[in-house]
Structure 1
Amino acid sequence: MSKGSSTIAGYYYYLGWQAALCHGPIDAVTRIVFADRTAWSGAAMDTEIAIDQPGLFGGESKEGGVSGQVSILSGKATQTQDSYLAGVLGEASIPAFRGVCTLLFKSFYYALHNPYMKAMAIQAQRTNIDSQGAPMWYLAKARIGDDMNPAHGIRELYTDRNWGMGLAASLIDEASFMAAADTLYNEGNGFSLIWEQAQSIDDLINMVLVQIDGVIRTDIATGKIQIKLVRDDYSVNDLLSISENNVIAFESFQRSGWEDTINEVALIYHDEGTDQDKPVIVHDIGNQQIQGRRISKTLQMPGISNATLAQKVAQRELRVSSTPLSAIRLKCNRTVWGLNKGDVFKFSWNKYGIADVVYRIGDIDFGTINDSAIIITAVEDVFAFPASVYYTPIDSLWADSPSAPVAATYQRVYEATYWDSVFNLSAADHAQLGANFAFVAACAVKPKSDFFGFDLQTRVGAAAYAPAGSGQFCPTATVTAALGLAVSNAAIAIANGYNLDQVAVGRYALLDDELVAVTTIDLVNSTVSLDRGVLDTVPVAHAAGARLYFIDDHQAFETLERISGETVNAKILPTAPLGKLDLADAAELTVSLTGRAQKPYAPGNVKLNGDAYPAAALSGAITVTWSHRDRLQQTASLVPQSAGNIGPESGVSYTVSLYDGATLKEQATGLTGTTHTFALFTLTDPRVELFAVRDGINSHQTHVIGFGWA
């Protein structure tokens, strides 16, 4: 941090480079990320975009940011040579790079102080065109949210002549693929994946089939490739009946017991919003009670890109795995010739007491010229059983269609704590801060599931708004019942949870104006345990419905150093797939800076006559005790109220007061110890107030503890 010196503090680094993404053409590039931070989002192809994020890595006080022009080239068949690339390399023979989607960064500013380029990631999509750039087959149902319709993807793997099997379209049963596409579209069951061809086409098709619960088969009448989805799409009365009249040999019958079932499924999906693998966990509570234990399995489904779909698929898989189903193998005559893989039928067999039980075919052998018998291997169909599945309610990231930018319903701007300043500034920058420094921070909850993040802009007075940082949307929930002052490890019921799978234990949250530390979170039972009144706050009462903002690692921290006494106006601008909220459409929020980061911490572990927040009435002398706190030392972990002495910070004293209603009965100031006794005898509406003082500056908050008087 330079203050008036002409000494060189660092260098800006620029670079031109070309990045090849994949086979082209594609629909659009939708996001460009550096070091896990979004530099640009939108939808662009065969055009030049501008990236203007000079503060992405902390601005001039840290490692700068990124900015410059980027050409996004789809690689279409008519693409011409890029003039910038040819001019830089000085060669007229530079190819046009047809058939490859590329990004060309032109004299691009990518860092300050650090000559090493940050890790870059590019998000792109192709759902609406084929590999030749022509409109996708059955275009109306090709795209599901931000994903491809799996039926379209499988069909293209069979028919594409560039990287697929190259089969003629006439070999595809169009009706079955269109029916599957309609069903998957209505279910919201899309598929997103980077295919690097390290796996075979068959393996990729099988991966998609596992996600959508489908089978590929050959139509026995036409020889065409069909797709069949396993769904509850039949009437039992309409099914073909198989019994002793159709069966040559009942080769096997097996029924699994409860001990053979699974009662918990963990499904790992790849979250599009964070570009990270995440789990959803579903439970069959009834099965767990029957078995008296938890039996789990883990499924990897990287084609799923959002938690909503992951929950649905995990629930489907659990329903199959948690139900004891029977399996049969039958050798049948040609009367069952119309059945195929994935079909269902009714089966009856008097000897085993089976009557009209529905089975689904897993495998079928249609026989040979010399042996016309048809061999069916089938499993009892799970749709014949009632659903009894319970799932972990992890919040939706699903988007039916790209959203336009809107304001966040839940958003806050506040003065940052000393903890925030330590963790957002380098040690060198922090040491250069002025005597009255202050910083602004902000948080917001995602307005819609497909939003990316938000920018913070601020101003003082009538000045123009200026960029002040960016943040990620924070998880949120509300408490279902009122909370008192008492600090307890008991689980607190929560509701209206959103993105709670992103909440990390050991991080802090904002509950009204009280900071709390998350000690446990239970997504199954919708509860959270909290250490109350951490950092520079104290426990206060909260009404039912009070909102928790899980802000640690998600808030925006303004990069501009301010001073206490300033009143700052701020606007939060969420970024959606279709752009960023206009400044004029954002609500103006205001925060008055008090120098919060420089204030001493209030004491902790406060007790009256040995009890924290006593429930029983007190009488006679009242002894107040507390423990020291030290903001300068408390930068490693979030200290609970119940902890013993830390510090104190040099120069700290305490003021403790006894009130009866609005009347101050007695006050002690300048205390440097951790105890004080009030010798009063009769009180009507008593309370104790306690705060810390250093250099004439009071702690950010004051303990206010009321109690009964006997």
Structure 2
Amino acid sequence: MGGKNDDQVIGHKHFRGFHFIGPTDADALLAIRMDDKIVWEGYQGQGRLRIRKPNIFGGDEKEGGVSGYVDVLLGGNTQGANDYLQKVWNTTAIPAFRGAVTYVWRRVYIGNRPILKPLRHKSVAINSKYDNWYPEKARVNAEGRISNAALYIAMDTSDSMAIGSRLATQRDAIKTFIDSLKGFRNDVRIVSYAATERAAIERLNCTDSDYDDIKDWLDTQTTTAFGTDYDAAVSSAPGFFSRAEGVDSYTDTSFSGLISEAVGGLFDNGQTEKQRVVVFVTDGEPVPTSSATDAVATLATIADVRVHCFNIELTDTTYTDMLDNTPGDGVPVVSGADPDDLSVALANAFSYWSDINPAHAFRALVVDPVIGGNDDPASIGDSFTTSADLYFNEGMGVNFFWKGGTRAEYRRQLEEHTNSRLYRSRQTGKWELYPIRKNYVKANLPVFDKTIIKKGDWAEGPVKPWQRDLPNQVTLQYTRRDNGEKASVTSFNIVGIQLAGKINPVTIERPGFSYEPLATQVCEREKISRTVPGIRGAFYVAYLEPQYHVGSPIRINQPELGINDVVFRIKEIGGEGMENYETLLTVEQERFDQRTDIPVAGVSDNVIPDYAQASTIRLVEEAPYYELVQRLGQSSIDDTLSGEPDGGLFHATGNRPTDTHLDMGLAVDSGSGWGRSGVARYSPASTTLTALTRAADDTSVDIAWMDGLETVQAGSLAYIGGEYVRIDNMTRVGDVVTVTLGRACLDTAPVKHGVGTDIIFWQGNAESDQVTYLVSEQVDIRLLGQTFDETLNLSEAPNDQITFNSRAVRPYPPGAFTADGEYTDDRLFDGSVDLAWTHSDRTQQTTGSIEDHTHGNIGPEAGTTYQVRVKEYDSGDTLISTLIDTNVGTATSYTAAPTPSATAAYLTFEVASLRDGYECWQVPTIKMITTIRTTEAGVDRTTEDGTTRTLE
């Protein structure tokens, strides 16, 4: 990799002539990352990429984004010098960089910071490597990802599709393909065609539920009479693409040799406009034949469209080749009985990342001169094809970056990763590849006993008891395919840990793996290999038949050594011995087994949607006095309220839907229409797993672990069901977090919260439009989630409405409100109750140390008095009457002795703060069950906690 950056301007940056050099190939995958954010990724032939990610670092309101053009030069033998580099250095003496893939950045704008963000890129070369040998099995673990595209799919439902399971195969493969789109915004139209377009479903700007609708529609499609009209299949494509969002094509005739067509797949290339793609599936030649020519003409009317064709059981691709304009994947011919064939073909056509089949890598090691191979392809044995099939079916793929080094080291890594052996056959003289798997029948293996074994040196044997220092925990390190960082999976041998009485860890590096499910499988394989005791040794044999090779399983029977018919693997075949031309064999007891029965989740299961979504947990309300003081200063707020006591601001925040979301746009309508009013920040959030009572000393609740909770700080505020609470402590055990709270902070009172109540740890993250609203004004607010690429549509955002009610000027409610010295709800009222409370003062409670409801006397705020109310309710929670409603001045206690009516089921006792005609925002309340224990019909009353009140 080489680079040059000779133009940096404070406030913004451009790359001038910055180029990356990588291995040459005809299908380079360029993935550019900055601070682990994808700027662009996708397959391209030689040409120019447009990067357009204006919001990747927060947009204009934060650190900007990335935009500009990157030239992709594939290093062909006739490639000329790049015109842009010539202009930058003002000379024609610029290398053409033949024999290497070069990326040239043409004054790309990067962010709003004076310091350049870290930049990395990755590329992959598979399709045209290694003489294009066995291309249909070259890609393993292809990860499809299509976003920001308009997709038109034509599915054949002519009568020939009724043969066998062709229709079901086509339907199931397309459904799998549709599933791979989940998490990404695309426009989709699928048509069912035969002699005409029979039916269609169309969804624009798809969500996951839209994709599910499409899959349901696919299940309804059946075959019909004769006819395979290619033009009918694509006839509605032009209209669909005109309804979908248009594409933005870039053409620069001054760029010599520009090839605008990508050759390997389809991805969001950083444009906000959507790319146009046609997927055409058929099992028959066109009827009438002229419809193929007509279809070509129809497709020619669609600018920048890419057409991928797939044949089911139709080996003659003459006519579909006429439509297909993506030579990178050709026209795959797939089975009509196995939907996996078509699914793989689709995944390969649209994959944005994949691994290479190890058989292809082993073959390159032998024949590819770029990495030192010097053998003829004719020296490659048939085992390479069968091994390629095995690796493909296992999902065994690797990704190595050839950095020079020795071929022996590369070979060793390939063999270790795949548990395989590359050797030259003593029978044929060809190179052969042998994956070590449990693929033998023991009874058919040859037996090596004392008649064959001349002399031996057993390093470990006979079989020993379990060794205390044998590894029992295996950690396998691999490379994450999304960002190139190290990751790991760990597997334990529980029996080994129990027998050893401790954990003996071992770490294995397998950097060529980039697919977590595969890393998990191989970790299991390595656990079996490394944590089970076995026998190793070496011995001489007089003669070794030529069919035996490194990796061959054999049986050894030497009872005198305690080795009773045990399977071993040949690890090495050494040179001749000192006597009688003996051959030295190094062997190891068979412990290897490639595990393929471990459940493997598809990549799409872990896809994080890249489209903008709404926050499901939100805090949108009139801001309390405390929050205004923290933001604007107490003297400023007090001056404002003295002139306009009924004024107030709102504040808003919500939970982050996915990690791809940056911030939220703040949309406000106060009666004159919607307008953007800045940016709101996200806050961690969760839901309760246990309930909270109204009692202020009920201060512990379990919540579900969610990403972001690790940032919550002790002493900060959270919001739960209208009540502000102080976070005193958080303890996580697995996916459960126990939170210790301070109840009813600021101007709120303690209330009940059931299981499943949202809690948002807003920690001062809530934002406002800084507009002062008056009492009774209604304001609608919508939080518009923003990703790197898009902002949530206003129509898709949930609406939160606030009616302002002079919150900031209201006195704080009294604290420590108790009945007979207790906070407990639902106690039995026995005729009288002693109520007590403490003073609060909003003007004094503005420090960083937030008091909860149990605080002692603070203040009171000048002019504050207290109103005591006792109300009675029937069993249907209907208010019967107010029994007591009295102002007790500045007193902090009161004995209430109300007389409930005969139908009263319970009483509520309240004490409200009053000042200057304003009552506190929330009123602390205690509920008590009346002494009337039965209904008028004589039925026993039951309290909310299930206690039955019977007459004695």
Q: Which moved more, 1:454-463 or 1:247-256?
A: 454-463
Partners of 1:298 and 1:668 in 2: CA distance:
74
Structure 2 match to 1:313: 522
Contact 2:477 2:508 in 1 (8 A): yes
Contact 1:190 1:304 in 2 (8 A): yes
For residues 549-598 of structure 1, what are the alpha-carbon distances to aligned partners after superposition, in whole Å with 9 as ceiling and x for unaligned? Answer: 9999xx9x9999899965455666878xxxx7998899554455799xx9
Structure 2 match to 1:211: 417
**SS of the residue aligned with 2:457?**
strand
Partner of residue 347 from structure 1, selected from 534, 549, 556: 556
Q: Which moved more, 1:252-261 or 1:654-663?
A: 654-663
Q: 1:668 to 1:301 in 2, by over 3 A?
A: farther
Partners of 2:502 and 2:752 in 1: CA distance:
40
Q: Which has the higher strand share?
A: 1
TM-score, normalising length from structure 2? 0.54
**SS of the residue aligned with 1:261?**
coil
* 2:290 pairs with 1:77: no
Which one has the largest radius of gyration? Answer: 2
**SS of the residue aligned with 1:184?**
helix
Q: 1:41 to 1:631 in 2, by over 3 A?
A: farther
Structure 1 match to 2:487: 278
Partners of 1:277 and 1:655 in 2: CA distance:
64
- Deviation at 1:119? 1.4
Trace 1:187-586 onto structure 2 (pairs within 5 A): 187-197=394-404, 199-252=405-458, 253-256=461-464, 257-334=466-543, 338-365=547-574, 367=576, 371-382=580-591, 398=603, 412=616, 414-415=618-619, 436=649, 438=651, 441=654, 443-445=656-658, 505=710, 527-531=735-739, 567-569=780-782
Contact 1:363 1:378 in 2 (8 A): yes
- Deviation at 1:312? 1.9
Contact 1:26 1:125 in 2 (8 A): no
For residues 132-173 of structure 1, what are the alpha-carbon distances to aligned partners after superposition, in whole Å with 9 as ceiling and x for unaligned? Answer: xx64654533343223225122332343222x1222244753
Structure 1 match to 2:284: none
Partners of 1:611 and 1:158 in 2: CA distance:
86
Q: Which amino acid aligns with 1:185?
A: F
Q: Which amino acid aligns with 2:616?
A: R
Structure 1 match to 2:52: 52
Q: 1:615 to 1:460 in 2, by over 3 A?
A: closer
Q: Which amino acid aligns with 1:327?
A: R
Q: Which moved more, 1:303-312 or 1:331-340?
A: 331-340
- Deviation at 1:370? 5.0
Trace 1:586-665 onto structure 2 (pairs within 5 A): 588-592=797-801
Partners of 1:192 and 1:310 in 2: CA distance:
12
Structure 2 match to 1:180: 387
- Deviation at 1:26? 5.6
Taking only the aligned residue pairs, the percentage that are identical comes to: 19
**SS of the residue aligned with 1:443?**
coil
**SS of the residue aligned with 1:262?**
coil
Contact 1:192 1:305 in 2 (8 A): yes
- Deviation at 1:439? 5.4
Q: Which amino acid aligns with 1:261?
A: L
* 2:349 pairs with 1:142: no
Q: Which amino acid aligns with 1:412?
A: T
Partners of 1:588 and 1:261 in 2: CA distance:
58
Q: Which amino acid aligns with 2:94?
A: I
Partners of 1:669 and 1:280 in 2: CA distance:
67
Q: 1:520 to 1:79 in 2, by over 3 A?
A: farther
Q: Which amino acid aligns with 2:46?
A: D
Contact 2:609 2:658 in 1 (8 A): no
Partners of 1:680 and 1:206 in 2: CA distance:
89
Q: 1:230 to 1:288 in 2, by over 3 A?
A: same
Q: Which amino acid aligns with 1:190?
A: G
Contact 1:439 1:560 in 2 (8 A): no
- Deviation at 1:318? 1.8
Structure 2 match to 1:116: 115
Q: Which amino acid aligns with 1:356?
A: D
Partner of residue 375 from structure 2, selected from 141, 163, 168: 168
Q: 1:697 to 1:356 in 2, by over 3 A?
A: farther
Contact 2:525 2:594 in 1 (8 A): no
TM-score, normalising length from structure 1? 0.69
For residues 22-42 of structure 1, what are the alpha-carbon distances to aligned partners after superposition, in whole Å with 9 as ceiling and x for unaligned? Answer: 122362334322233333344
- Deviation at 1:234? 2.2
Contiguous gaps of at least 5 residues in structure 1: 1-9, 420-426, 447-451, 495-499
Partners of 1:41 and 1:189 in 2: CA distance:
24
Contact 1:436 1:563 in 2 (8 A): yes
Partners of 1:704 and 1:306 in 2: CA distance:
57
Count residues in correspondence.
Answer: 654
Q: 1:260 to 1:455 in 2, by over 3 A?
A: same
**SS of the residue aligned with 1:208?**
helix
Contact 1:415 1:591 in 2 (8 A): no
Structure 1 match to 2:242: none
For residues 230-270 of structure 1, what are the alpha-carbon distances to aligned partners after superposition, in whole Å with 9 as ceiling and x for unaligned? Answer: 22222223322223343223532243524132222222222
- Deviation at 1:93? 3.4
- Deviation at 1:219? 1.9
* 2:300 pairs with 1:93: no
- Deviation at 1:679? 6.3
Q: 1:594 to 1:13 in 2, by over 3 A?
A: farther
Q: 1:399 to 1:167 in 2, by over 3 A?
A: farther
Partners of 2:401 and 2:762 in 1: CA distance:
32
Partners of 1:212 and 1:460 in 2: CA distance:
58
Partners of 1:359 and 1:105 in 2: CA distance:
56
**SS of the residue aligned with 1:345?**
strand
Contact 1:458 1:466 in 2 (8 A): yes
Q: 1:14 to 1:407 in 2, by over 3 A?
A: closer
Contact 1:157 1:165 in 2 (8 A): yes
For residues 316-356 of structure 1, what are the alpha-carbon distances to aligned partners after superposition, in whole Å with 9 as ceiling and x for unaligned? Answer: 22222222223343333426653222221223333355443
Q: Which amino acid aligns with 2:417?
A: Q
Partners of 2:478 and 2:840 in 1: CA distance:
46
Partners of 2:388 and 2:619 in 1: CA distance:
51
Q: Which amino acid aligns with 2:656?
A: C
Q: 1:141 to 1:36 in 2, by over 3 A?
A: closer
Partners of 1:242 and 1:366 in 2: CA distance:
19
Q: Which amino acid aligns with 1:298?
A: T
Contact 1:411 1:442 in 2 (8 A): yes
- Deviation at 1:80? 3.2
Partners of 1:212 and 1:14 in 2: CA distance:
44
